[in-house]
Amino acid sequence: MYQKQLDRFKAWFNEYVAGFYGSDSYVNAHIKIKEDHTHRTCREILSLADDLGLDANQALIAETTALFHDIGRFKQFRDYLTFNDSRSVDHCLLGVQVLREAGVLLELDDNEAELITTAVECHGRRELPGNLNGQHLLFSKLIRDADKLDVYYTVIQNYSRYTGSPQQQRLEVEFPDLPEYSSEVVGALLTGRLIDYSKLRTLNDMKLCQLGWVYDVNFAPTLKRIKQRGFLEKFFAKLPNTPDIDQVKSKIFNYVDDRIRRQV
């Protein structure tokens, strides 16, 4: 893969996304969120690629994967006014469909195009398929980590704006903002299990679910960034101060520190 190809992909992305802006400020705000998220995720994945010692060609593929990982989100929100896949469509599969229908990746060789589409298709799954290996597994892991880093940043910013002025919130809030949280969600976090999205009932459940993403982080440099940027502390500051939450906090901090110490 060549830099000129990536430059053409970036030009196509910008033109494609521009077509989703219109007169509806609510839609525009959500399109902007995903557009900005994409650009930051590109930077995150390049930084991780450097830490992991990827070569120049791998870095180009990684950045292309980040550029297109959420390409299905724009059509999803325009058509359904939600980013909730269970209430609309699988944005990962929609993204692959968008890329194929537009023929965006046809100028790449088949192997490179398949690496990118596989990563786009799998990046939002609860867990990666067990049959991935080699470069397919590498790029799928990379985009999941880069995506999480920026989603942590994005949702913390959104929660802060929402807490400060919920009446003026212009972004979708998927769950009721109630003081409760599910014991089932807490139990999953205390045993190191990923949380089934269908089990979430309140905004606190969603925050706990997002905290639990640390169990699905693939690379130690990702966890270092999460710790250095204080993402976990910022999440816990937005949750109820209860013994349950204190237990979850201890479990997650110990898990992150242990993996960073062992570099795994």
CATH of 3-146, one of 1.10.10, 1.10.3210, 3.30.450, 1.20.58: 1.10.3210
Where in the chain is CATH 1.10.3210?
3-146
Cα 215 from Cα 198, distance rounded (Å): 18
Q: How far apart are CA 51 and CA 43, in angstroms?
A: 13
Neighbours of 93 (CB within 10 A): 14
The pLDDT assigned to 168 comes to: 59
Contacts of 8 (CB under 8 A, 6+ apart): 107
Contact of 73 with 91, CB cutoff 8 Å: yes
Tokens coding 182:
């599910």
pTM of structure: 0.91
Residue stretches of the chain with pLDDT short of 70: 162-173
Number of Cβ within a 10 Å radius of residue 52: 18
With beta carbons less than 8 A apart as the criterion, state whether 61 and 119 touch.
Answer: no
Q: Rounded CA gap, 224 and 19, in Å? A: 37
Instruction: Please report the pLDDT score of residue 174 as a whole number.
Output: 76
Length, in residues, of the chain: 264
